[in-house]
Structure formats: C-alpha cells, structure tokens
Amino acid sequence: MKGQVNMDVKALGKVAVLMGGRSAEREVSLMSGTGVLAALRSRGVDAHAFDPAERELGELKHEGFQRCFIALHGRFGEDGTVQGALELLGIPYTGPGVMASAVAMDKLMTKRIWLAEGLATPAWRQVNSAEETQAAFAALGSPMIVKPVREGSTIGLTKVTSPDQCDAAYALAAAQDPLVMCEQFIAGDEVTCPVLGTGADARALPVIRIVAPDGNYDYQNKYFTDDTQYLVPCGLPEGEEAAIQALVLQAFITLGCRGWARADVMIDAATRRPYLLEINTSPGMTGHSLVPMSARAAGLSYEDLCLSLLASAALDNPAASAHA
C-alpha cells in the first residue's frame, strides 16, 4: 500500500465533492469536504465543491460532472438516498451502494444482520418510550448506552448509569430520530478499523485505539479538542489486532459494502472479546479523522487516499447508467 498513487487524473473527469448537506453532521461534513477538495486539486483533479443543501442534485448531470466523492455524513448523504439519486443520474460515486449504505445507517438493521451471520455485537433493545427505556435498563444493566438508530458522530447519545437518567436519555435520542435503541455498554478498549477496497480486494487497515478524556469519546472530543489520544500502532496484545481486522473485514463484506468504510469496536476488558458497534460508510476526512490516520500508518498519504477512493467510484448497476 506504500508509495504514491499514480494514475491519469484527467481520466477521472470533472468531479463533484459532495459536502454539507442537511444532516446534524453538516458542520463536520463541510470540514471533511474541504480537506478532500484541496487534496484532489493538489493532485490535479478537476474537482469542485457541491452542497446538496443548496443545490439540486440534478445539476450534477446538467453541469457535466462525471463522478462524485461523497463527503456527506449522516442522513441525506450516508443513508442510501444520495446514492440512489446518483444511480438514477448515472454518475459513479465513492463508497458503498444504495442497500449497504441504507442498512449501515440503521444500527438496528446492521446488528440484526451481523447477529444472523454470527458476528459479535452488544445486546440491545429497541425502545419507543421512556418507560421502555427504564425496562431496557433493568434488563441490560448499568452502564447502558441510549442512542438514535439513524444518527452518527455520537449525536443524541447518552451513557446511562442510573434509572433516573433514562427519561432524559430517551428524550435526547428521540429528538434526533423516532427510532431509539438501548445497548449494553462494553467496558474496555475502544478501537476503530477502516477497510479499503471491494470484494476480494478489500483490506483492513491498521487498528487505532482511542483513549478519550475520562473515557468520554463524544462529539466535542471527536472533532474539536486535542485531548483524545489515537494510538497507531494500537499496542494491543499480539494477535488481537489481526483478529479485529478479520472481524471488521467480515462485517464490511456481510453488509455488501464496497469502496471504503470504518467499523467501531469495543473490546471487553475481562474476556478480550471484540464486539462490533457500528460501521460508517462515509467516514470523516477532517484533521481529527481516523481513516486518514490509519491509512498514513499503512504508508498512504491523505492526498493519495483521496485519489484512490475517487478512482474506486462506481455504480451498483453500471449497465443501467448507460440509459441515464
């Protein structure tokens, strides 16, 4: 993976970097997109910023864009909706396709598929009220995580340690999404692992261990402080990193992902068993983001990572795009 990516950038054509959008993660998306745009331009790509919150996606076709780098995060960008629109327009895009994007955005559906495939993920309950959240706390134990099903970046997430916190935790999550879930908290090492590629060529990158202040890896500590430590090499016991990479690669393939994604994993401190939390199909590309950090440890610069991802842009059904 080491070495600069060499390719004919002119062959990539006119490129739109989709950023911003309408989700709760708009601010982070603008940060990601700005970085990607600068990186692609530094490599000679004819790249342009495009904010779907301000412009109709149909303009991509009218303005002759030939591929899209999706730097959108959250709903209306990472959930299959934009991917579906680009399929209809016949414009190849980065990252997983319509179904994989939609499933991965829904943490409940993701967990159901992983569980069916025998992949470890923490116990959970879907809840529809504060009362059901109380019942979930009694069943899952303390601490418990309460979070919206279709949101990212820890937005709307609460770590509950007593029953009297359940009502507020449910209200906070429900304000982001009508679907709310409670999840058993796994105490131990928090790690993340990206995957690049498609099918037999998909490869897991180095694992990053995350050490956040007081163990609180929230929105602020993810994007806007320098207090969180990211350890790569991860320093895990021998064999654990390879096992996590294998688990994450299986999780990626099971959901039908392509191009790239990043899975978050908790390692039980007592048993050392890794548990899959979720998978991000349009990971962050900011100065604090983890995919560029892991890629750099594997010998791939930020600019070359962006170029490689752009070159992997594809359609679920390229044959149909000829008629778009």
**Known catalytic residues?**
25, 153, 223, 262, 264, 278, 280, 284
Cis check: omega of the bond before 92, within 30 degrees of 0:
no
Rg (CA), the chain: 19
Q: Closest Cα partner for 133 from 122, 145, 123, 121?
A: 145
> The tokens of 303 are what?
């600019």
Looking at residue 214, the DSSP 8-state letter turns out to be G
Phi first, then psi: what are they for 38, rounded to 5°? Answer: -65, -40
Q: State the Cα–Cα distance between residues 308 and 170, nearest whole angstrom.
A: 41
CA atoms 122, 123, 128, 130: torsion sign: negative
What is the distance between the alpha carbons of residues 210 and 178, in angstroms, rounded to a whole number? 30
Is the peptide bond prior to 178 cis by the omega test (within 30 degrees of 0)? no
Q: Output DSSP code: residue 314.
A: B
In three-state secondary structure terms, 172 is helix
First-to-last alpha carbon distance for the chain, in angstroms, is 35
Beta strand 14-18 with 46-50: parallel, antiparallel or unpaired?
parallel
Q: Which of 279, 286, 287, 276 is nearest to 261 (CA)?
A: 279
In one letter, which amino acid is 17?
V
In angstroms, the CA 234 to CA 241 distance is 8
How many secondary structure helices (H) and strands (E) does the chain include?
A: 12, 13
Reading the block at residue 91, the tokens are 């414009």
